[in-house]
């Protein structure tokens, strides 16, 4: 526990802010998916994205994609209930808050001889890169049912 605290305090201010933002959004998304309908939770996150405290000075930076992917993955590793919808909603909200256009994809694939005949997955793409991904080899194997684009 002390090692985690030391690692956290060794981060620069912007990285600490991103980590805390990700952890709190992860808890909000996890709770929201259990208590609310998906469109309602998405509207709440849209209000967060468009809040006046955003502080998007200047142009959005595509270089933010890598750090967002890393932090979402790191927080999810310590939050066992962070399923793919939780991670995707969090990554989508963080990217959109930083002014980057992202797409939240919901897809399925059929598994022929598997014990699980159909598999569903949610992921985020931003600037052609997959940002939030949980334990799947290739998202292109999934047939996209819907893609929610940021506005």
pLDDT value at residue 92:
93
Please report the pLDDT score of residue 137 as a whole number.
67
Task: Kindly state the tokens that stand for 148.
Answer: 């929610």
CA dist 72 and 74 (Å) reads: 6
pLDDT class of 54 with cuts at 50, 70, 90: very low
Question: Per-residue pLDDT for 49 more than 50?
Answer: yes
What digits encode the pLDDT tens for the residues 14-23? 888 999 999 9
Other CB atoms within a 10 A radius of the CB of residue 90 amount to 30
Give the closest residue to 45 by CA, choosing from 5, 3, 89.
Answer: 89
Q: What is the largest CA-CA distance in the chain?
A: 52
β-sheet bridge partners, residue 130: 125
Helix (H) or strand (E) holding 118: strand 118-126
pTM for the model stands at 0.83
Query: What confidence score (pLDDT) does residue 60 get?
Result: 65
For 62-106, write each residue's pLDDT tens digit: 677 888 888 999 999 988 889 999 999 999 999 999 888 899 999
pLDDT digits (tens, 9 = 90+) for 97-145: 988 889 999 999 887 777 778 888 888 988 888 887 776 667 778 888 8
**Domain ranges across the chain:** 15-50+62-149
d(CA 30, CA 81): 8
The residues with which 147 forms a beta bridge, in sequence order, are 105
């Amino acid at each position: 526990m002390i090692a985690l605290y030391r690692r956290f305090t060794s981060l620069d201010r912007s990285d600490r802010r991103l980590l805390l933002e990700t952890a709190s959004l992860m808890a909000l998304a996890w709770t929201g998916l259990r208590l609310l309908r998906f469109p309602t939770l998405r509207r709440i996150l849209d209000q967060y994205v468009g809040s006046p405290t955003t502080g998007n000075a200047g142009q959005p930076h595509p270089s933010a994609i890598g750090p967002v992917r890393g932090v979402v993955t790191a927080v999810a590793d310590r939050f066992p209930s962070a399923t793919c919808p939780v991670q995707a909603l969090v990554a989508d909200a963080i990217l959109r808050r930083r002014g980057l256009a992202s797409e939240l994809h919901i897809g399925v694939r059929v598994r022929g001889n598997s014990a699980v005949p159909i598999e569903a997955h949610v992921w985020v793409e931003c600037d052609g890169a997959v940002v939030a991904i949980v334990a799947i080899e290739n998202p292109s194997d999934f047939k996209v049912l819907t893609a929610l684009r940021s506005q």
